Amino acid sequence: MTMVVFWYPGSTYRHKITQWSSIQILIKSDSAFQTRSAKYCHLLKKGCLVTLYMAIVCLSGDQSFVTLATNDSYVKGALVLGSSLRNYRTTRKLTVLITPHVSEAMRTVLEKVFDEVKLVDVLDSGDSAHLALLKRPELGVTLTKLHCWELTQYSKCVFMDADTMVLSNIDELFEREELSAAPDPGWPDCFNSGVFVYRPSIETFNQLLQLATEKGSFDGGDQGLLNTFFSSWATTDISKHLPFIYNLSSISIYSYLPAFKAFGMNAKVVHFLGRVKPWNYTYDSKTKSVKEDAQDPTMIHPEFLNMWWDTFVTNILPLLQQHGVIKDAATGVKALSGLVYTLAFSCGFCREEEVTEAVSHLSLSAAAMPHSPPSPPAMSSEERKEKWEQGQADYMGADSFDNIKKKLDTYLQ
């Protein structure tokens, strides 16, 4: 609930706003406002509606959507998320946390979509976050995400993972209190940390760091840590349970297809969980659709994939071209798909949340690997994929880290 206050000579009118999408309808349907006094009737004129709208925008300026991009791959997701929020006319600020792994060119593009781009370098900090990282190096990304609680210039925020996308205006989430989140489809007594409402607080930030240092996370990531900290979520206040439509897990659609068919059209946020992200798929710019692979058990629902790519090609690709990140549109689409999709699909033995990170940071690990011997005659992509599926990858030849690194450097720069 947000209190809107505006002044008129000799009086002050306060009104509680519960819906942000249609100010005119709200005012005209408010009988208490209309009958309060004849002298206020002329406030329904267009000019005063604009004044009221400006008051709403000003008061919502201390609230923000927040996301995190740990590398250039996740920047693509963050850009689509930010663009989708803009498309549905959010009145809130947009903030993105980034790490030093994000290139300067990508930072420039982020500044075109987000109101605030904040660098978080846990390794270079002198605070308790650095000390926590030294004791728990496996929680690197988690500790970076916790820095969202340091955004104390905002009174309330909604954090959204970079692999989410909004399908409608969701500003009403700011009426919820900390910690509001949707159930995780894998264990509904835990919330999924891909979308949550919170209040920035240095005290909470320090308490989370202390918990991370002393106990770590039961799942190795931020979700386990946050569920331990906000342990009463499952049993106390039902108002802090967001409906599943605010965090629709793409990989859970097929686990209960009848429910998706019945309620899927009401989805407000889609979350592209799983090892393969939207930017890892092959996109056909002619048919404006993602290439489907019937053999891929983790294939994300094509409708949502196509929506993600449509937003990317329409709103983000021109920015990447404008700032020299991608020289050619066709090359840009190819660079985001092809090889990376094949690699991510084939690494079935990797932990799901690690695959995209492994792809993005492969160049860091490759330097320590020995040079591979000459590779055997090239196989077709289908033959190579079949070898991967059989666990017969040519780690010393075509599939060596050195060779993969060279191709990644070609496609992902």
Model confidence over 84-98: pLDDT tens digits? 999 999 999 999 999
Closest CA to 92 of 155, 152, 3: 155
Domain boundary among 323, 344, 373: 323
One domain for residues 55 and 144? no
Domain count along the chain = 2
Do 185 and 276 share a structural domain?
yes
The type of residue at 50 is V
What CATH number should be reported for the domain holding residue 126? 3.90.550.10
Instruction: Say if CB 67 and CB 162 are below 8 A apart.
Output: yes
Is the same domain home to 55 and 69? Answer: no
Label the pairing between strands 116-119 and 156-160. Answer: unpaired
In a domain, 402, yes or no: no
Q: What is the DSSP letter of 312?
A: I
- The verdict on residue 143 lying in a domain is yes
| Full-model pTM | 0.69
Q: Tell me the two tokens of residue 410.
A: 């070609």
Q: What is the mean pLDDT of the chain?
A: 74
Shared-domain flag, residues 175 and 38? no
What value does the CA radius of gyration of the chain take, rounded to a whole number of Å? 24
SS3 category, 185: coil
Of the three residues 323, 348, 374, the one that is the final residue of a domain is 323
Residues 194 and 267 occupy one common structural domain: yes
Q: Confirm whether 392 is domain-assigned.
A: no
**φ/ψ of residue 67, rounded to 5:** -140, 175
Query: Among candidates 110, 109, 202, 100, which has minimal Cα distance to 149?
Result: 202
List pLDDT tens digits, range 39-85: 333 444 344 444 444 444 444 689 999 999 999 999 999 999 999 99
Does residue 370 form part of some domain?
Answer: no
Q: Is residue 405 part of a domain?
A: no
Both 189 and 276 in one domain: the answer is yes
Is beta strand 156-160 parallel, antiparallel or unpaired with respect to 63-69? parallel
Last residue within a domain, chosen from 323, 351, 373: 323
Same domain, 49 and 174: no
Query: Within a domain: residue 107?
Result: yes
Tell me the C-alpha to C-alpha distance, in Å, between residue 389 and each of 63, 282, 295, 386, 403: 47, 19, 11, 5, 19
pLDDT (tens digit per residue) in 225-255: 999 999 999 999 999 999 999 999 877 776 6
Preceding peptide of 179 cis, ω within 30°: yes
Rounded CA gap, 161 and 191, in Å?
A: 14
Query: pLDDT tens for residues 342-356?
Result: 333 333 333 333 434
Residues 77 and 186 grouped into a single domain = yes
- Decide if 338 is inside a domain: no
Residue 32 domain flag: yes
Q: How many whole angstroms from its chain centre is CA 301? A: 17
Tens digit of pLDDT for each residue in 258-308? Answer: 788 888 789 999 999 888 899 998 888 888 888 766 445 555 678 899 999
- Asked whether the CA dihedral 353, 357, 358, 364 is positive or negative, the reply is negative
Cα(124)–Cα(150) distance, rounded to whole angstroms? Answer: 16
Q: What is the DSSP letter of 231?
A: T
Share of the chain above pLDDT 90, in %: 44
Give the containing element (helix H, strand E) for 95: strand 93-98
Which residues, in sequence order, are CB contacts of 193 under 8 Å at separation 6+?
159, 161, 181, 221, 222, 223, 226, 227
**What is the extent of the structural domain holding 75?**
62-323
Q: Give the rounded distance of the alpha carbon of 128 from its chain centre.
A: 26
Give yes or no: residues 95 and 240 share one domain: yes
* Length reported for the chain: 413
Residues 172 and 317 in one domain: yes
SS3 category, 70: coil
Same domain, 93 and 128: yes
Query: Same structural domain for residues 45 and 131?
Result: no
